[in-house]
Amino acid sequence: DGGITQSPKYLFRKEGQNVTLSCEQNLNHDAMYWYRQDPGQGLRLIYYSQIVNDFQKGDIAEGYSVSREKKESFPLTVTSAQKNPTAFYLCASSIVPTGGEETQYFGPGTRLLVL
Amino acid sequence: AQSVAQPEDQVNVAEGNPLTVKCTYSVSGNPYLFWYVQYPNRGLQFLLKYITGDNLVKGSYGFEAEFNKSQTSFHLKKPSALVSDSALYFCAVRDYPSYSNYQLIWGAGTKLIIKP
């Protein structure tokens, strides 16, 4: 099956702890994205990457970090600097944006909760 | 400033009746418009998109959307609602090429409830 997988489905973070969310895709997409979803709000972009070893900050990058060592993988680390991390995190991928019409495809999400 | 508005937090429709979920947008360039659906605790699924051409776009699961440039709207429609259509619906726009062409601007979502 082609698609995007995210793990774990649920993640619990203790205060002061860094946690890493996994995102893997086998769609052969070059671009990958991380979004945060809070109730009653639209999706907010945390980070995006168009190519291996390159990524850019989105609107709410503070307290988060990413890496892109492989085309298929784009892990997100929620650091202790993120004071309100409780949210639903969504990973997406697409072909490289060129003409603006590219569709983003989403993984099933990871719900992060603070203990 | 670029924005997307979904004016209704919730829409209630009886099964078998037509449904409409509203979306309006504000961009400075060309709008590329998208609709996604999200079931509880799941990721978003792509329904349809408008890029150019015919103003009526047909998508997955019997949904369609009409692009209206003069009203800056892109409402999602379905002629006959199913209980299984109950979900959260998101409208998004990409303002091309005026805004970063990587980013989608998202509406806050509309909860659609279909009653048997």
Task: Check CB contact of A90 with chain B, cutoff 8 Å.
Answer: yes
Check CB contact of A6 with chain B, cutoff 8 Å: yes
Give chain B positions within 8 Å (CB) of A97.
101-102
* Tokens, residue A79: 């650091």
B54–chain A Cβ distance below 8 A for any pair: no
User: Å from A33 to nearest chain B CA?
Assistant: 9
Q: Provide the pairing of β-strand A44-51 with A54-57.
A: antiparallel
Dist. CA B86–CA A22, nearest whole Å: 29
3-state secondary structure (DSSP) of residue A26: coil
H helices within A1-115, ranges in order?
A: none
The reply to whether A106 touches chain B by the CB within 8 Å rule is yes
User: What is the residue-averaged pLDDT of chain A?
Assistant: 92
Residue type, B78: K
pLDDT at A9: 94
CA distances from residue A20 to A26, A67, A77, A107, B37 in whole angstroms, order as listed: 20, 11, 4, 16, 26
Q: Check residue A110 and give its pLDDT.
A: 96
How close A67 comes to chain B (CA, Å)?
18
* pLDDT at B76 (0 to 100): 98
* Residue in A with minimal Cα distance to B111: A40
How many interface pairs between A and B have CB atoms less than 8 angstroms apart? 66
Tell me if A86 sits within 8 A of A113, measured CB to CB.
Answer: yes
**Angle made by CA atoms B79, B83, B87, in degrees to the nearest 5:** 95
CA distance A12 to A17: 10
Question: Nearest-CA residue of chain A relative to B38?
Answer: A108
B91 vs A115, which has greater pLDDT?
A: B91
Burial of B77-89, coded b for 16+ CB within 10 Å and e otherwise, reads: ebeebeeebbbbb
Which residue in chain B has the smallest CA separation from A88? B41
Rounded Cα distance between B23 and B4, Å, is 7
CB count within 10 Å of CB A113 equals 11
Tens of pLDDT along chain B (116 residues) come to 789 999 999 999 999 999 999 999 998 888 899 999 999 888 999 999 999 889 999 999 999 999 999 999 999 999 999 999 999 999 999 887 765 656 899 999 999 999 99
Residues 6+ apart with CB under 8 A from B10: B110, B111, B112, B113
pLDDT surpassing 70 at residue A27: yes
State the pLDDT confidence band at A96, using cuts at 50, 70 and 90. Answer: confident
